[in-house]
Amino acid sequence: MGKVAAIVQSNYIPWKGYFDLIGLVDEFILLDDVQYTRRDWRNRNQIKTPAGLAWLTIPVEVKGKYFQRIDETVISDSDWNRRHWRAIVQAYGKARYFEVFKEELQELYLGSSDRMLSRVNYRFLKHICGLLGVRTRISWSTDYPHRGVKTERLVSLCKTVGVTSYLSGPSAKNYLDEELFCSEGIALHYMDYSGYPEYEQLYPPFVHTVSIIDLLLNAGPDASRYMKSVSRFGETAV
């Protein structure tokens, strides 16, 4: 089927569907040279706690920076990582596989003082992919020459890296210009996020959309059993 790619903005400790998107492609390109969006998944995600869902948010500098790019966004608090690690310990200290991953996750949180949001996201994505056994190449859009905006930008990147198939999240159906992909001979597919099996999760009721941290600490080495098969594609668009 040739080379398959996905192009998405970096997220902070995203849910399992994001990592499935990474695992289903040959190259995952972080589109972080686009505008940072507030109150989005770039700098926050949710975990489960005895009191319900809780946000872990990386504080960033936004005052007067209305048009800053994701890869220009600076973390504004040097202690965020310690607070987040404490929150994870409190929420998941009794999870079945917490002790298995404790040292690695602690080092992931406390072993770097990087203040650039994009690089912090990349650090977490790469490390968690390693824990999941996902070996997909993760690159940056800025690694390659490209032009245009919106769909034209995505198609330009696909052509530069020699992509024959593009895998997109399902919400992009609302704004992608599918004909642009078709005209360049790039097959467009949409990810299917339905049908995920439930695993043994702390603090019912079950929630699928929390951070991948939840799956790792509750399912451990069996985490991949609760994710999508690498051989499955979603709906073909063109």
d(CA 172, CA 215): 26
Q: What is the pLDDT of residue 238?
A: 37
Is residue 215 within 8 A of residue 16, CB to CB? The reply is yes
pLDDT category, 229, cuts 50, 70, 90? low
Q: Nearest-5° angle of CA 105, CA 47, CA 129?
A: 45
Instruction: Express each pLDDT in 202-224 by its tens digit.
Output: 999 999 999 999 999 999 999 99
Asked whether the whole model's pTM tops 0.85, one would answer yes
Instruction: Express each pLDDT in 161-204 by its tens digit.
Output: 999 999 999 999 999 999 999 999 999 999 999 999 999 999 99
Q: What is the pLDDT of residue 235?
A: 44
Say whether the peptide bond before residue 145 is cis (omega within 30 degrees of 0): no
Is the confidence at residue 56, as pLDDT, over 90? Answer: yes
Domain locations along the chain: 4-226
> For 118-174, what is the HEC assignment?
HHHHHHHHHHHHHHHCCCCEEEEHHHCCCCCCHHHHHHHHHHHCCCCEEEECHHHHH
pLDDT category, 1, cuts 50, 70, 90? low
Most trustworthy range by pLDDT among 73-77, 172-176, 223-227 = 73-77
Q: Mean pLDDT for the chain?
A: 94
